[in-house]
Structure 1
Amino acid sequence: MKDYYGLLGISPDAKSEHVKAAYRKKAAQFHPDRNPAPDAAAKFRDVQEAYETLADAERRKAYDDTRRKSLLDDPLVVARELWGNYLGNIQK
């Protein structure tokens, strides 16, 4: 499961305006027209997917419920993913 909060660099309790601001920042950073990196388009799509999920109240609730369940099912996998996203955000 992708960590949409990590992709946008926000906390799970972020308000909708923070989700939107983080999306705009990341979208500008990874937009293929502005970023020539080979993986920019894929990162842009991931950021878009994260925003579409977290900006919609129903989709966000479903995502949060699934995320909580996955934390209980396999916490090591989730911890590795969160740590990877954290390190990725620091290096940028």
Structure 2
Amino acid sequence: MLEVLAALGLVLPAVTSIAPVFVPLVAAGLVVTMIGAMFGHARRREFACLGLNALLLVLSAVGARGHQLDQVPNAAMAASIRAAPVGARSMVAR
């Protein structure tokens, strides 16, 4: 249930343009949730679930970082971030 609420927190601000500043915070909270889920599944020896948790953790972390870069207040700073090397640019949401 918590994951569904986090998904709504990631999607709704982008769709409605209401409080988009909370999207990186929701994504960071989802990262913490996925870390806890991974520990819980590992404790129960449910190793089949770890891959999905790891995937969601990585997607949440990339989404949080990409959304933070979109909200950089200084246009020159945003341009310099976008001009980063190719490996670093893959984290920037366009």
Pairwise TM-score range, normalised by the shorter structure: 0.3 to 0.5
Q: Which protein has the larger Cα radius of gyration, Structure 1 or Structure 2? A: 2
TM-score (structure 2 length as normaliser) = 0.37
Higher relative contact order (CA 8 A, sep 6+): 1
